[in-house]
Amino acid sequence: MSSHLRFGDQSATWVGVPGYQPPLSGAEAVLPSLTLLPLLNAVIDELQGNIKAPRPLILSTALAAISVAVQGLIDVQKPTGQVVPVSLMLLIIADSGERKSATEKILMNSIRDFQEQQSVQYQKLFRAWDVERSIWESKKKAILRCVTKNVEKGLPSDDEVLRMHEHEMAKPERPKEFKFLYEDATSEAFFYGMYQNLRTAGLISSEGGGVLSGRAFNDLSKQNAIWSGDSITVDRKTSDCFELKDGRLTVSIMVQGAGFKDYMVRRGELARGSGLFARFLVCEPQSTQGIRMENNITRSWEHRDKYNQRMTEVLQQNLGLLEEPDRERKVVKFTAEACERGIQIANTIEVEIRKGGRLHGAGDHASKLFENIARVAAVLHYFEGLDGDISLDTLNIAINLCKWYSDEFVRIFVPSPQDESDAVELMEWLRGRSYGGQRYVLKNHVLQYGPNKIRKKSRLDLALECLCSHRMISLCGLGAKVFIDLKPGLPPEPQFMHGDFIYEYSGSVI
């Protein structure tokens, strides 16, 4: 029996992490505490209070923005010793009206402002370069004309050839643009932009249906390679091919449920099979629409301003990457106790891939989960300006967050077996009786009046077995009749007792 049934199951292998809160049921899951990260926690609280978007949507957008800002500056050394990028990929499924654009605008604003400021400087440099290039082209044509005349007269052109070599060495170098953010472009143009300008970038969209179906997201193998920090070679029909080395890419896609389903129908199997979605932190937050009540309290944005100030500080550290693209990044490491805890979690994840484990059927996701934990820990550590190596506290926060995202991945991408999905539907139906004060439900009553698909004895028996194994119910007998007890573990109700006729049902359900 798979253990990822959504009844608030608490895996003992994860519960020991301070601050861990097990999922309730799907979108009702509560994000772990971020109180030990005062800067990030404060801005998320402030945005949640002011714009009332779902908290996971705000957090995911903040992680994307921070990843864009720091990925070119640091790498992280996992407890196993491997050094990897810190770039994150995030997928947020949220329908229209969840204030995706408002959230993205606020949290990405510092990046866009900084990029715009640098663009003003770039335009000045570009215009100067364009003039120098035009002059250079004119001189080149003049030298070539001399060569042509010499050829026509049968004269040697040694001096002109030397001048041409010297002229080529003096060719003005095109200035590089400080361009961080991309939205819609061909895969070729997108990667060429990183090759020609800044090697660190973000593919960001609050309307991700266009990105998913667009041209920049079609080359899955290159998306996988750049996440891992591998080089990318792009062959072009109309111009020379190029190789992007040591690039860093953050991806953040917010997409409506319908758009996501459409993509999964068209390309989902390929994207999942390629391992692309395994690299994503995914979520489908519970909607806040209908409960976003306004008040007359003046809104404060002090924490947003502090967040923007810190983002600008980090962004300024990226300026040197234009002049020194091969500059070594700082390698962020874990403390000894954090390494010990990290190895423990890595082993826990491995065990959960087994049949019956929480991650059974999600081996692709599991293979990238611990690396995502390390990346999130490094990103949070650097952004918060914490000293030294990554502490156990910061690692635990990353573990809790990635466990939450992992539960979301399983819920979204790993369908439950039939008996488990039947059990979920049956439990919802039984809870309706429990809310009305009923404790005992006759099994035959379920066969007659329960959910349609569970009115077959074979399917009902499997669903009951599943609920019993999770201690959601118990079964008891009265004569030849079998009853479902909705309050297992409690003494039988007096009015239900008739001598020794009621007993705990010990036989097989089937």
Cβ proximity of 57 and 106 under 8 Å: no
Q: Of the candidates 277, 329, 368, which has an alpha carbon nearest to the alpha carbon of residue 71? A: 329
Residue with tokens 């390309």: 267
CATH number of 27-116+178-283+299-413: 3.40.50
Secondary structure letter of residue 279 according to DSSP:
G
Cβ proximity of 8 and 353 under 8 Å: no
What pTM value is reported for the model? 0.77
**pLDDT value at position 497?**
54
Indicate the SS3 state at residue 204.
strand
**pLDDT value at position 208?**
57
- Name the stretches of the chain with pLDDT < 70: 1-29, 184-186, 208-211, 213-218, 237-238, 296, 298, 494-510
The CA distance from 168 to 70, in Å, is 37
Phi/psi-derived region of residue 176, left when phi > 0, alpha when psi is between -120 and 50, beta in every other case: beta
**pLDDT value at position 184?**
63
**pLDDT value at position 501?**
36
**pLDDT value at position 14?**
53
**pLDDT value at position 503?**
38
Model pLDDT for residues 304-329, shown as the tens digit of each residue: 999 999 999 999 999 999 888 889 99
* Exposure of 182 in the CB half-sphere (CA atoms within 13 A): 29
**pLDDT value at position 5?**
44
The CA distance from 340 to 446, in Å, is 50
Hey, where are the domains in the chain?
A: 27-116+178-283+299-413, 418-504
**pLDDT value at position 215?**
62
> Sign of torsion, CA 203 207 208 210?
negative
Distances in Å between the Cα of 10 and the Cα atoms of 54, 193, 408, 428 are 24, 46, 15, 20
Cβ proximity of 321 and 334 under 8 Å: no
Q: Does domain 418-504 have CATH number 1.10.10.580?
A: yes
Q: Helices in 154-268 by DSSP H: which ranges?
A: 158-169, 187-196, 208-213, 220-227, 257-263
DSSP string, 416-484: PPHHHHHHHHHHHHHHHHHHTT--EEEHHHHHHHS-GGG-SHHHHHHHHHHHHHTTS-EEEEETTEEEE
**pLDDT value at position 111?**
96
Structure token pair of residue 498: 């008739």
Cβ proximity of 244 and 195 under 8 Å: yes
Structure token pair of residue 17: 């992490």
